[in-house]
Structure formats: C-alpha cells, structure tokens
Amino acid sequence: MTNVADFKWSKDMKLNKFTSSLGKIGFQSTEIMNASNTIVKMKTEGAKIFLSFTSNMVTSGLRGFFAQLIDLKIANIIITTVGGIEEDIMKAKGEDFPIGSFFSDDKALYERGHNRVGNLIIKNESYEKFEDMIDPMLEKLYAKKKRYTVSELLYELGLQLNDKNSILYQASKHNVPIFCPAITDGAFGFHLYSFSLKHKDFIVDVVGDFSRLLSASSYDEKKGLIALGGGVSKHHAILGTLINGGLDYAIYMTTANYTSGSMSGATTQEAKSWGKIKDDADAVTVIGDVSVFFPLAMCGALEELSERGVIEIKK
C-alpha cells in the first residue's frame, strides 16, 4: 500500500514524472496515474487499441490530438458519433470554432445563428459551408461505387482531405477504420438522405459495417479500450470486442454518475458483470472532464513510451 505524499513542483519535471506523482496525491489524481500507466501497458504489450469519443471532443481542441494519436500508431480503431465527422471535415476545410461562455445569452446566440456546445460556438454558416462541400465529395464516391459500409465511406472521405490535424485524413493515411454507428444522427444524416433521393441506388450499409467491427479484432489478440465520454460510441466499442472474449485493458473517462444506470456512467467494474471486460483486466474509471484529464494521462504515457523507445515522437 502506498502512502500519501505531498506534491512538489520542479522546473525540470517531465510529464511522465508528473503523472506518476499524481498517484500519491489521492482521489482522482491517483486514477489519472493509473490510466496513464494502463495506456503504457496497452501499447508495450501489443494490444489492439480502440479509441472512442463523442462529437463534442472534436468540437474542442482535442480533435488534433486524436489525429496525432492515429499518426503515432496509438489508436488502431476509432469509434465516434456523427457530429465529430462533420466538425472534423469543417475544420479541415478551414472553419474556426470560437470559445464563448457557459453563461451566454442563448436567445441572442440563436438570433445571430450561433450554436453553443458548452462554451464553444459553431456558426450556422459552418453547416452551410459543410452542405456545399459534402455533396461534391459524395458525388466522387458515387462515381467509384454505389454501396459503402460506413467505415468505407469515411475512409474515402478522408482521402479527399489534406489536413494533418484531421482525424479522417490521418485515419485514411494509416488505414485505421473509423466506425460511426449512428451515422444519420446529425447534419450528415440529412445530407445522406438528400443524396439518396437523387441517387436511389446509393446505399450506406450499417449492418455490413457492424460485421467489419466484429472482425476488426480476434479472440487471441489483446484488446484495449480508451473510452472518452459515453453513449453509443463507448458501447459500440465494447460491443465490438465482447464476442471476441472481452477487453484486456480498459480506461473510461466520464463526468456521468454510475448511479444513473446509464452506459455513460457505467464503470469498468460494472462491465465485468457483462463479460465486456475480463476479470483480470487492467481497468480504470476516471471521473472528470476529458478535456483536462485525457491530455494529462495520455501525454504522460506518450513521454514514457518515447523514453522506452516504443514510439518515436515526430518533430
């Protein structure tokens, strides 16, 4: 058993030493350290790493970090929601999202055509520009073939982007599949519907994509999950590994409460009752804001992995 130790700052403190020192503070600081250590174990022990996140995280500045993690070969499979796809494309095409306030006058924002996501703003004109750009992109796909699984569709869209900070771009470049089970749950869904009215033989195959997810990992290989937030992206990642024996490593980060009985609030311990996570798995639940805790845990892990020579940090 480790005793509490007073935290002290030093000007030459490295990130991996910082996250290690968090482990002796207690409370959620300890869980951040545990999450960082588990990421290191996942990578060094050759696990296939699933990374799931909700669209609000792509609205934020984490979007470029996710793209970097794909480039560094940390994330092998991505599961997200459709807003993250839309906003990744918007940003790749030059759209900016202002930082506002949690206490904005929302009526005034509506009248200006500004949509609030927490303290971030997405303008209506960004969606209008998305509409203008997505139809020609879909036309290029349609000219190649008429039927796509969702992950195939997203791979082809990523090939049409040229932004190193884009999740879709990096995923296509490194052949990392992106799964988005609720592909119609957003503006993109309306555009797919509109496109299908003009092209009756254009099919987006959601069930075929589930088959691709199930075959993305095997029973024999080690599997790890970093689930940021909850909902369908988290559950789809877990479901994709359940049939293959469950997860060997799992990190959940959420602000949701476990007493709600929701997928978003469900802990790694609860998941063991379903066989989603193996009994002897390295499993950590971190309660807190992903925009703060995930960079802390991951950057500490990246520095440790770099020092061990497991990954090469690009300049």
Contact status, residue 50 vs residue 249, Cβ threshold 8 Å = no
Is 315 a residue of the active site? no
* Fold exhibited by the domain 48-95+124-292: Deoxyhypusine Synthase (3.40.910)
User: pLDDT category, 315, cuts 50, 70, 90?
Assistant: low
Q: What is the pLDDT of residues 155-213, one digit of tens each?
A: 999 999 999 999 999 999 999 999 999 999 999 999 999 999 999 999 999 999 999 99
For the chain, domain boundaries:
48-95+124-292
Beta carbons within 10 angstroms of residue 262's beta carbon: 13
Prediction pTM value: 0.95
Contact status, residue 284 vs residue 252, Cβ threshold 8 Å = yes
Question: Kind of pairing, strands 48-53 and 223-228?
Answer: parallel
pLDDT at 220: 93
Contact status, residue 97 vs residue 121, Cβ threshold 8 Å = yes
Instruction: Supply the DSSP string of 265-309, one letter for each residue.
Output: T--HHHHGGGTSEEEEEEEEEEES-HHHHHHHHHHHHHHHHHHTT
Helices first, then strands: H and E counts in the chain: 14, 10
| Encoded tokens for 258 | 């476990």
Q: What is the pLDDT of residues 202-257, one digit of tens each?
A: 999 999 999 999 999 999 999 999 999 999 999 999 999 998 999 999 999 999 88
SS3 content of the chain, % helix, strand, coil (to 5): 50, 15, 35
The residue annotated as part of the active site, out of 48, 222, 276, 278, is 276
Q: What is the pLDDT of residues 65-90, one digit of tens each?
A: 999 999 999 999 999 999 999 999 99
